[in-house]
Amino acid sequence: MNAISDSSRRLVQTALVSLNGVIGEPLRWAGPYFGPGSAGHSLKVLQRSEAMLMGRRTYELFSRQWPAASGPYAEHINAMRKYVFSSTLQEAEWTNTRVIAGDPVKAVAELKRAPGRDLIVYGHGQFGQTLCDAGLVDELTLTVVPVFVDGTTYYRPGALSRSWELVSAGPGRDPGLVSLTYRPARSDSAANG
């Protein structure tokens, strides 16, 4: 499926990644590095977003974690609109969450065409990779955590090759972290537009 080049809003994907490229189970290894600076920045990014998109696994994790949490981040994430893309989940119990069972690429392209603020995706599981492969991600932010861990890597076999342009690089919001922000390379955007 081709990317939508005239979208009204951006799809932003953000992920925590270890030095050796692992993204799986970041709660297990990223926590000691994710301090007040990262939390404050994450809240700002979330507040710029109108809705969160996620696959079933992220939904299952977040819907257990956030409804019982307190504070500005929890309040915002619980109140905002959320879309879960799953062919197996029948209904969502988390407030303001809608399950979409159809083609995620088509559905996300439609969401992008609607007017509004950014759409955000956390992590890079099967759903995130599907969106990248389809050329729907407008901005990709990786926060590199200074650990080597075993687990699911960011790039998995079968992913389509894409080129990305570096927009910004620098220290993360807390000691030890590095933040990298990319946008699709113009040559890839033009080819898919």
Q: What pLDDT score was predicted for residue 188?
A: 53
Q: Is the per-residue pLDDT at 102 higher than 70?
A: yes
pTM equals: 0.89
Q: What pLDDT score was predicted for residue 36?
A: 94
Say if residues 41 and 170 touch (Cβ distance below 8 Å): no
Cα separation values, 76 from 1, 47, 96, 98, Å: 32, 7, 11, 17
Q: Measured in whole angstroms, how far is the alpha carbon of residue 127 from the centre of its chain? A: 9
Sheet with strand 97-100: strands edge to edge: 97-100, 81-85, 49-55, 118-122, 11-18, 139-145, 178-184, 164-171
Q: Is the per-residue pLDDT at 32 higher than 70?
A: yes
